[in-house]
Amino acid sequence: MSISATDFNFVRDLALTKAAIVLEPGKEYLVESRLTPIARQIGVQDASALVQRLRRGGEAQLQAQVVDALTTNETSWFRDRHPFDALGKFMIPELVEARRATRTISIWSAACSSGQEPYSIAMTLLDVPALAGWNIRITATDLSAEMLARAREGHFSQLEINRGLPATHLVRHFERAGTGWRVNEQLRRMVTFEPHNLLNAPPLGGPFDIVFIRNVLIYFSPATKSEVLAKVRRALRPDGFVVLGGAETSLGIDDQLVRTEIARSSVYRLKR
């Protein structure tokens, strides 16, 4: 049985209210495919029966589980590569010069999913000799409690490892864990994982020198994109960097963030 228009609208409103996720008409198949496993897990017949239970209210944990399921958690190591080239070869060297007094660099990885992005950032920084002895703070956040738990554990299957992780990095930064791999202690110590909704105030750990907020704005309405970027700006140091996804832009959304191309990557800085 396909999910009804009424049930789809209920789920769409829930996703919008709780996570600012915009589910366009035509995404009924997505809602049904994501909710059906949850329905089976809690012992109801199908996605429609799950929605009926949600309508009765009073189940915050079930609501959160549904929103988690609707959040796209597609990710890989060093995704799109260019942002990490820009980080190691251009952004960090500039910040090293600017932060010599404090020898501290703070980075926020927003919507970090299961942790591949912040761990990729950490591996990139360990390849910069000038940062030896510096205080590096990487704050990684996500709306999904399930993804954050996985990220903190740092355990990845062989299939996940194969998605973009160079063999040299596997040898240096991972340990065998059963049939999979686990991030080593040095890398795990560099990253703090915290729950965070992008509609709320920025997480602790700021102001930040660099904010990675990639491939998440595409799921928001223009008004929500503007709201989120305004919060990011307020959490950014005046000479800091914002890294968006390749298909994302601040153009027409936030005129205080100006694009500059670094190593073929879309990097944004505060207007001066």
Six-digit token string for 80: 């799109």
Residues 22 and 54 placed together within one structural domain of the fold: yes
The partner residues of 268 in beta bridges, in order of sequence, read 242, 259
Q: In which band, very low, low, confident or very high, does the pLDDT at 64 lie, cut at 50, 70 and 90?
A: confident
Q: Is the pLDDT of residue 47 over 70?
A: yes
pLDDT of residue 72: 64
pLDDT of residue 108: 98
Residues 99 and 173 placed together within one structural domain of the fold: yes
Residues 219 and 183 placed together within one structural domain of the fold: yes
Residues 243 and 181 placed together within one structural domain of the fold: yes
For the chain, the average pLDDT equals: 91
Six-digit token string for 81: 């590569």
Q: Is 96 inside any structural domain?
A: yes
pLDDT of residue 25: 82
Output the domain CATH number for residue 213.
3.40.50.150
Residues 39 and 90 placed together within one structural domain of the fold: no
Element (H, E) at 224: helix 222-234
Give the domain-ending residue among 23, 49, 70.
70
Q: Is the pLDDT of residue 1 over 60?
A: no
Indicate which residues carry an active-site annotation: 34, 142
Q: In which band, very low, low, confident or very high, does the pLDDT at 59 lie, cut at 50, 70 and 90?
A: confident
Q: Is 76 inside any structural domain?
A: no
Output the domain CATH number for residue 13.
1.10.155
State mean pLDDT over 96-116: 96
Mind listing the pLDDT tens digit for each residue in 213-224?
A: 998 898 888 999
Residues 86 and 200 placed together within one structural domain of the fold: yes
Q: Is the pLDDT of residue 208 over 90?
A: yes
Segment among 16-30, 74-88, 240-254 with least mean pLDDT: 16-30
Residues 54 and 179 placed together within one structural domain of the fold: no
3-state helix, strand, coil in the chain (%, to 5): 45, 20, 35
Residues 160 and 127 placed together within one structural domain of the fold: yes
Give the domain-ending residue among 49, 70, 91.
70
Interstrand relation of 174-177 and 180-183 (parallel, antiparallel or unpaired): antiparallel
118 in Cβ contact with 205 (< 8 Å): no
pTM for the whole thing? Answer: 0.83
Segments forming the whole domain that contains residue 13: 5-70
Nearest to 104 by CA among 258, 181, 209, 26: 209
Residues 237 and 159 placed together within one structural domain of the fold: yes
Distance CA 191, CA 168 (A): 21
Element (H, E) at 139: strand 135-142
228 in Cβ contact with 220 (< 8 Å): yes
216 in Cβ contact with 207 (< 8 Å): no
Structure-model confidence comparison of residues 16 and 131, the more confident one? 131
- How far CA 124 is from CA of 115, 142, 209, 233, in Å, comes to 14, 21, 15, 24
Residues 120 and 211 placed together within one structural domain of the fold: yes
